[in-house]
Amino acid sequence: MNPIKIILTGATGMVGEGILMECLENPNISEILSISRKPSGKKHAKLKEYLVSDFLSIDIHDENLKGYDACFFCAGISSVGMNEEDYTKITYDTTVHFAEAVLHQNPDMVFNYVSGASTDSTESGKVMWARVKGRTENALKKMNFKGAYNFRPGFMKPVDGQLNVKWFFKPFIWIFPIFLPSKSLTLHEVGRAMINAVEKGYPTSTLEIRDIKNLAI
C-alpha cells in the first residue's frame, strides 16, 4: 500500500484531535494537512497546518488542497441553542463547499465525514440536527468522490493525552462504555476505520457503530 496523504479538519475539537493523534501514529499515513481556524497545538514531522478563518471562503482553485488521497472531515458544532438556518449554514453549507473544493483539486479522493448516530437520511424527521446531518450525508454521497463514507459514531472515548475534552464529558469516559457498550466506540477505532476506508473501502457508504468497529479491525 502506498503511503496515504490526508486532509483533516476539526483538529481543535475532541473528535478531530483524537483522529489526528491516531493518524500521526499510523505508519501508513505519510502526511497530514490540518485545516482549521486556529492552530492544533501539535508538532510532528508529518503534520502541516493551514489556518482558514472561514471555510466558506476557501477557493475551489486553492493549490494548498492539491495532492491528497483522502479528507477526514471532523469539524462540527452542537445544535444546542441554534436555529435551523444557522445550523444549516455551518453544518451543510460549509461541509459541502469544503468537499467541492478538495474534490476539485483531488478527483480520486476518499471523503470521510463524521456525522452522528440517529442521523435522518430522509431529511424529513422532527429532529432538526438529524435532518440537517442527513441532508449533508446525502449531498456528499452524490458527489463524484472515489469513495464517500458517512461515519455515525455514538459515544467516543478519547485518546489518552487529548487536550480537547470538555470537563462535563470526563465523568462519562469510563462509565458509558461499561453500561452501553453497543453504543460506544473509542476514537482509536474511529481513526483506524477511517484509514481502513481509504485503504480497503467498505460495502456501504453509511457506517453505523457496528460497521465502524468492523472496519477498525
With a cut of 80, say whether residue 176 has pLDDT above it: no
pLDDT tens track for 97-136: 999 999 999 999 999 999 999 999 999 999 999 999 999 9
Residue in 66, 70, 74, 86 with CA at minimum distance from that of residue 4: 70
Look up residue 152 and give its amino acid.
R
Three-state secondary-structure class, residue 208: coil
pLDDT category of residue 157 using cuts at 50, 70 and 90: confident
Residues whose CB is less than 8 angstroms from the CB of residue 134 and which lie 6 or more positions away in sequence, other chains included: 119, 120, 121, 122, 123, 125
100 close to 143: Cβ distance less than 8 angstroms: yes
pLDDT at 106: 98
Domain ranges of the chain: 4-216
Return the pLDDT at 172.
72
In the chain, what are the helix, strand and coil shares in percent, each to the nearest 5? 40, 20, 40
Question: Dihedral sign, CA of 188, 91, 97, 201?
Answer: positive
pLDDT at 177: 67
Coil, helix or strand for 189? Answer: helix
Q: What is the arithmetic mean of pLDDT over 76-102? A: 97
Across the range 17-24, mean pLDDT stands at 97
Q: What pLDDT, on a 0 to 100 scale, did the predictor assign at position 184?
A: 80
pTM value?
0.93
Distance CA 97, CA 67 (A): 18
